[in-house]
């Protein structure tokens, strides 16, 4: 259902790979809400992903870019303003990748070249995006910039590896840059801390099935889906959230405030009983 919440707004959406991507769902909802936007991803993602399918349904131009390259980012902003006919109102950073996770390196035996890449791709790219946009004065007053984060920035979760450090930096950049960009141009910068979600990046997390089940049992409202994340992102891009900036907002069904739930305790007790039965058999 559309409420035209983004009617007349121009955006750039980074990170839609396939129809499971959170950025894909956000792009589809933004289109439904009346926005016009460009889509960007790496040349390799454009070749192997399905972004052109999304582009045709949303009537959006696709601009290849490695988000760690200043030159590529300058091109994305220049080209987007040309195609969309003016300055940008919203930007989505939905980008994350860790070679340490992919290559199953463990946190206490990490590869430092990979670690640099994790930080560059998953966090510094957000700073680069903001710095390029500000220098080019590419974002309209009261524009909204959003990045996607995860609770591993605050709490330790098995297997999330160096992505936890990247997310902590990502959230910090939202605050530090949010102050400057807000003070000077009234541009808003926030992160959404999303529930674990079954996507290409999400499936890289060790033990994703168990994690999804655990967070589902722990959250009073259950896990937040990618579609629900898209709904919430639309609110943050819209004028309904004009005074929200420099925040990391949990979109996780309440998981971040829980320590133990009835459902998780029931499951835990059941496992203990099973163990006891096995020991006594």
Among 5, 12, 13, 17, binds ligand NAD (CB under 6 A): 17
Q: Does 121 bind ligand NAD (CB under 6 A)?
A: yes
Report the alpha-carbon distance of residue 150 to residue 166 in Å, rounded: 10
Own/partner pairs, 46-51, CB within 8 angstroms, 24+ separation: 49/16, 49/17, 49/18, 50/17, 50/18, 50/19, 51/16, 51/17
Compute the least distance from the CB of residue 272 to ligand NAD, in Å.
29
Compute the least distance from the CB of residue 182 to ligand NAD, in Å.
22
106, 99, 138: which is closest to 121 by C-alpha?
Answer: 99
Touching ligand NAD, residues 248-277 (CB under 6 A): none
**Binding range to ligand NAD, per CB under 6 A, among 82-90, 107-115, 189-197, 264-272:** 189-197
Report the alpha-carbon distance of residue 5 to residue 89 in Å, rounded: 13
Report the alpha-carbon distance of residue 188 to residue 121 in Å, rounded: 22
Compute the least distance from the CB of residue 195 to ligand NAD, in Å.
7
Measured from the CB atom, is 227 or 275 closer to ligand NAD? Answer: 227
106, 83, 93, 175: which is closest to 133 by C-alpha?
Answer: 93
**Number of residues that make up the chain:** 281
Compute the least distance from the CB of residue 113 to ligand NAD, in Å.
15
> Which CA distances in Å does 72 have to 37, 76, 188, 208?
17, 6, 23, 33
Among 10, 11, 12, 15, binds ligand NAD (CB under 6 A): 15
Compute the least distance from the CB of residue 197 to ligand NAD, in Å.
4
**Binding range to ligand NAD, per CB under 6 A, among 76-84, 177-185, 191-199, 232-240:** 191-199
Measured from the CB atom, is 127 or 185 closer to ligand NAD? Answer: 127
Q: Does 67 bind ligand NAD (CB under 6 A)?
A: yes
C-beta nearest to ligand NAD: residue: 202
Touching ligand NAD, residues 148-177 (CB under 6 A): 148-150
Total binding residues toward ligand NAD, as defined by CB under 6 A: 27
Report the alpha-carbon distance of residue 75 to residue 63 in Å, rounded: 8
Q: Which residues of 114-142 are buried (b: 16+ CB within 10 A; e: fewer)?
A: bbebbbbbbbbbbbbbbebbbeeebbbee
Residue 235, number of CB atoms within 10 A of its CB: 14
Touching ligand NAD, residues 87-106 (CB under 6 A): 94-97
Residues that bind ligand NAD (CB under 6 A): 14-15, 17, 21-23, 41-42, 45, 66-68, 94-97, 121, 148-150, 194, 196-197, 199-202
């Amino acid at each position: 259902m559309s409420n035209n919440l983004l009617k007349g707004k121009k955006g750039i959406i980074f990170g839609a790979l396939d129809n499971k991507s959170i950025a894909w769902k956000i792009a589809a909802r933004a289109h439904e809400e009346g926005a016009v936007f460009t889509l960007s991803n790496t040349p390799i993602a454009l070749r192997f992903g399905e972004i052109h399918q999304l582009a045709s349904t949303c009537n959006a131009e696709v601009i290849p870019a490695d988000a760690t390259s200043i030159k590529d980012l300058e091109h994305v902003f220049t080209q987007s303003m040309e195609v969309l006919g003016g300055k940008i109102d919203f930007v989505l950073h939905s980008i994350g990748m860790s070679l340490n996770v992919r290559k199953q390196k463990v946190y206490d035996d990490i590869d430092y070249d990979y670690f640099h890449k994790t930080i560059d791709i998953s966090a510094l790219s957000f700073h680069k995006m903001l710095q390029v946009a500000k220098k080019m004065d590419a974002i309209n007053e009261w524009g909204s910039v959003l990045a996607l984060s995860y609770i591993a920035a605050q709490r330790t979760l098995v297997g999330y590896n160096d992505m936890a450090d990247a997310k902590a930096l990502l959230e910090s950049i939202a605050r530090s840059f949010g102050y400057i960009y807000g003070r000077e141009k009234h541009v808003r910068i926030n992160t959404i801390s999303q529930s674990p979600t079954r996507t290409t990046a999400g499936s890289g997390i060790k033990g994703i099935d168990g994690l999804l089940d655990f967070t589902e049992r722990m959250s009073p409202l259950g896990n937040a889906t990618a579609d629900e994340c898209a709904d919430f992102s639309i609110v943050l891009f819209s004028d309904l959230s004009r005074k929200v900036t420099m925040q990391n907002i949990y979109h996780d069904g309440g998981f971040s405030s829980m320590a133990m739930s009835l459902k998780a305790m029931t499951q835990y007790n059941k496992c203990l009983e099973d163990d006891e039965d096995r020991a006594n058999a």
